[in-house]
Amino acid sequence: MSEPEGRFDRWRRAAESAGASAGEARTRLIKELAVGLAALVGRAKLPLLAVGVAPLPFALVLVLEGLALGGTAGQVVVVLGLIGAVPGLWVLWRRRRLVGAVQPVEELAAELAQAYDIAGAWAKAGDALQRVRTAGPGLRGAGRAARGIWAGVRLTRELFDRFSDLPRVAPFVPVRLQFTGYLCVASLASVIILAALCVVGVLALAADAVI
């Protein structure tokens, strides 16, 4: 016949049960957060691709025009074409990192859990999930959702350095997301600048042909 369970044993079992339930709730919450973030990145893939590729044809045309012009002027045109391609190529590289960060989702969820442990941010995880779900489509929605992950978290320099060691979390740190946004603006601006330079290059080539 087994001995009656003591009060301490009942408390211990209750605490273990509560801890297990809390752990399961956290696992489920962080998995939903990772899935929502992956879906938003999936919707942002095409816009990011378009923004990244947009200046490249103009940059290529400008480089070809520079090679055709020759001399010092042609070298300057080639350099301008190469510089103009940089923002678009950088956007494509950032896109590759974002897409890679959410595949597979299980690994993203594991790193998000580590980040939340480091930051002590579990109390705000529900708010973060709500922000991800209501962020909206497109680049702006993806950026808003990614920033929402850190709702209520004060990202100190120490936290930034520690998050940078998590390859799937690092692309979603607010500073890096903001920089990606600036790159998108620069890439679109380079389209206008490169297109104008291409027109100037065509006119210069036409003038050389006439002379």
Report yes or no on 1 lying in a domain: no
Overall number of domains in the chain: 1
**Mean of pLDDT values over 156-166:** 70
Report yes or no on 202 lying in a domain: yes
Cα 39 from chain centre: 13
Expressed as residue numbers, the domain containing 168 is 7-210
pLDDT band at 142 (very low <50, low <70, confident <90, very high): low
- Those residues whose C-beta lies under 8 Å from the C-beta of residue 80, and which sit 6 or more positions away, are 62, 66, 197
The percent of residues in the chain predicted with pLDDT above 90, rounded, is 30
Q: pTM of the predicted model, to two decimals?
A: 0.74
Report yes or no on 2 lying in a domain: no
Phi, psi of 105 (to 5 degrees): -65, -35
Report yes or no on 29 lying in a domain: yes
pLDDT band at 8 (very low <50, low <70, confident <90, very high): very low
CA distance 150 to 178: 14
